[in-house]
Structures are given as structure tokens and as C-alpha cells.
Chain A
Amino acid sequence: MNEWLDPLLLSRWQFGLTTVYHFLFVPITIGMALTVALFQTAWVRTNKEKYLQLTKFFGKLFLINFAMGVVTGIVQEFQFGMNWSDYSRFVGDVFGAPLAMEGLLAFFFEATFIGLWIFGWDKLPRGLHLATIWATAVGTILSAYFIIAANAFMQNPVGYDINEAKGRAELTDIWALLTNKVALAAFPHTIFACFMVAAGLIVTVAAWHLSRNQHLDTMRPALKFGLWMMMIAGALTVFTGDSLGLAMVQTQPMKMAAAEAMYTTATGADASFSVFTLGTPDGVSELFSIRIPYLLSFLSTHTFDGTVEGINDLQAQYVQLYGPGDYTPTIWVTYWAFRWMIGLGLLHIVVAFVGLILTRRKSALGARLLAGRWSRWIWKAAIWSFPLSLGAMIMGWIFTEMGRQPWLVFGLLKTADGVSPNVSGLEVLISLIAFTLIYGTLAVVEFKLIKKAAQKGPDDLPEPHPETGVRRQETTVY
């Protein structure tokens, strides 16, 4: 058979592409639900019009993105059965439970209350309407927990036994599954990163308007809010990333070694963090590198004299444990994805930090810089916040999932053994092309629509009733 029609390779590409695509919308949904809820709460408590305008404005951006999140999410759930049926048979007893819990306990909740929020402006009392956006925000975060718990099982399987007769993993302890230490570490890291992405979106939009000197009354507070959220969420993402790194070293040492492209085990100063390395094309020897001594030891063990295992030693261990085979992920992918994640994330925090200094109320430096010839570049940097944060997020997931390879469930099932045996390469090629075409087209439409709505800026509110002074809530329709 033609090697291009390898169902395994094509299924991996399809799962990777559709997952990355789905996850462009997920962090915006999670982060923006909370943000919109905060703006609306500010409006309900202070009655200031600018907060209502911000609620409606960012609410609109949130909604354009929401439908895509839902419809691409169904694809994710179906693909386990469609392309990975042997995986589904092997882990369904364990892995299905958190997915079903997500649906029953969180996603229904989220999908129902988002509808009530969008269309309920003129149908629900003010307080109850506010509660619906909070319910949506809680639903999105709860959803994320169950999905991450399911994913954590693939990284670090716990709470199961192997049933030899049935040839599958069976759940023995739901609590252990839900409190998997990888889940406990990955959940806050992911959620704070989602808040970073939402903050990035707010800063991008606000900076775009402010650099054109328009919508000042709403976009000034939005910028300030966005910068603070970027700063706080960014710092929390770094801290939680650190604890996720520790959990990763304990459960998947190969992933950390692959993140560093570190072939030999090293201790103390030798366990250095490589900032940038140029190697020979075969990746075996190094031409040039910038390294920070001790840092990798600290990141992996929180001590300066820790030992970090190298790829070659781990490979030898795994051969002993699991039999002959290649247990190394694709090193250049993990190495660069890890660096891009950290680099983009840190850059994002720098933008927030500089932004907060420049926009301080009595900052003479800020006033001078923003009036001077650097101003154009400062605004440009702020406008790039959103792609920076989204890029960091995507790189993080690529690292985490590619670093798990060749395992589908670490130590239990290899990716090659999970693919559907009865789905042909041609069928997967058809679906891969179909998804690529449709997702690609929709990405263009989606981007144009969000851009258009964002550039239009907040709408003016309708005039209050001349006698009563009450402003009627508008009806929302498609």
C-alpha cells in the first residue's frame, strides 16, 4: 500500500489538526466567559454605562467564537471512536467516565445558560441575567477540569486495573482518576493560560482603538483591565507551569528530557537549561548554545544539585521495562515547542509589565513615550498580545501531546496500537481533506467577522425613556 495512505499517520495528523483548531476557540470561550461576567458584574454594581457597553462589546466577540467551539468539539468526541476504536475499546471503561461526566455535569449547563444569556437580556431580571453568565463561566471551567482529568490519564494512568480476560483497562477508583496529580497540576496551568489568552484579546482590541484615539471612555478601562489580567494570569501560569513541570518529571521523565533534547543524564550545574541550541542537522552534536547552569536541575527537582535523566538512559530503561522499541518522542518538535511556549509566554508578560508602567496615571515617562516617535511601536507591541498568548497556548499543547509519544496512554498503550483497524487510509484521507478544507474556510470567515466586530467598537446604548429614565433592554435575535 502507498505509504501516504497509512491510516495511523493520517489519523494522527487529523487528530492533531482538529485538536489544535478546536483549542483556538476553547481558551477564548473559557477566558471571555469570565471576563464578560466581570464586566457585567461591574455594570450591575456601579450602573456605569461604560461597563454595559464593554459587556455587550466583548460579549459579541465571545459569541462569534462560541459556535465554532461547540461544533468543533463534537468532532473531537466522535474521533475517539471513529479513528481510534482500539484505543476506545481499551480505555473506554476509564476514559469514557470523565467525558460523560463533562457532558452531564458541565457541558449541558454551559450550553443552556449561554443561550439564556445571549437571548435573555430583555426576558430575565437584571440579577438573574447576570447569574446566567456566571453559570456559563463556571460551566466552561468545570468542563475543562473533566477534559483535563481524561487527558491526564493518558499522561499518567491512575485509578485502574488491567482486566487480562477482556484485554482492557478498567476503572477501580474514580477519585484517584479525578485527583490525578497531573490533572491537579495541568488544570490551573491551562485555566490561567486561558485567562492570558482572553486578556491578550482585550489588550489587542483596546490598544487598536486607543492607538487611533477612539472609544476612549470604554477602551481605556478595558486596556487597564486587560493589562492587569495579562500580568496576573501570566504570573500564575508561570507558577503553575513550574508545578506541572515537577509532576511531569516524576511521571514522564522522558518528556522533560525531550523538552531539553538532553541525551545524557546530568547533575547540578551540568543540568543546565538550554535557551537556544543550534545543532548539526542530524541532531546528534551541538554547534552553538546558550545555557543557564543549574536551571534545569531546579526546574525538575526544585534543588540545585538534582539529577535529571537523559534520553539515552531513559530509552535503555524503557527497553528493559516494555521490550524493544523506540521510546523517544520527536525531539526537535518537543524541544522547539517547549521553547516557543515559554518564550511567547514570557514575552506576553513583558508586554503586560511595560504596558502597566506606561499607563500609570502619573507616569511622566509613559506620557512622553506614548506621545513620542516610539508610540507607534509601543501600540504595535500591545496589539500583538493576542497572537502571542494564543501561540504560547498552542505550543504548550503540541509539546505536551507530542512529548507523550510513542505512547497513547503512557506505559500502557502505544499510539500505533490505538488506531481503528477497519478504517482505511483512503477513508481517513478523505476526512482529513474535508476537515482541512472546511476548517480552513471557516477560519478565514471567522477571523474576518471577529476583526470586523472588534474594529467597529462598542455600540452606543439606546436613549433612555424620556419620562421614566429607564433604558429598555434590547431584544437579541439572530
Chain B
Amino acid sequence: MLLIRCPYCEEERPELEFRNAGEAHIARSTNIAGESDDDFEKFFFIRANPKGVIYERWRHIHGCARFFNAVRDTVTDKFILTYKAGEPKPAKLPGAAK
């Protein structure tokens, strides 16, 4: 079982307490009604789906119930970093090659 660090509970908890909530850092346009169909499609449907490091939203649903962001490697399934919702995308990842 994976252990995921919840930034609100400040400790590692078993993965069964968590739910994935899709890609992180997707900002909704402040003028959503003025978006063109193409831009709206990009915002609403198109996701990066990379092989490697991905920034995701997770929710500690069976714990503190809070949403937070996590950096995960989709190849190894290793959680590189977790941080609170609303915090900026970390510029540097610990242990990253570059």
C-alpha cells in the first residue's frame, strides 16, 4: 500500500484514505462566458497525461477531507512531494535530475 503525506494532517497516511481528483493548476478563466469554444475545450477536456512527473489534486476524503496538490511520477507511482491547495507550483522538486 502507498503511503501519502497529507500536508494538513502532517503525516503519511495509507492510500485507502485518499481519492485522486485530476490534474492540478488548471485555472478557470475569469471571463468564462467570453471564452472561445476552442479555449473552453482546452480548459475543460484536454489534460497533459504525461509519462513521468505529473501535478495532481488529491483529496484526503476519509481523513481531514481536504484537497491538496501532489507531484507524482506516473512511471514509478512514487509521490515526490505534496503541498497545500492554493500554494504555487513548486519550482524545484527534491531529488529531481534537472
- On whether the two chains bind one another, the answer is no
Interface residues of B (CB under 8 A from A): none
Interface residues of A (CB under 8 A from B): none
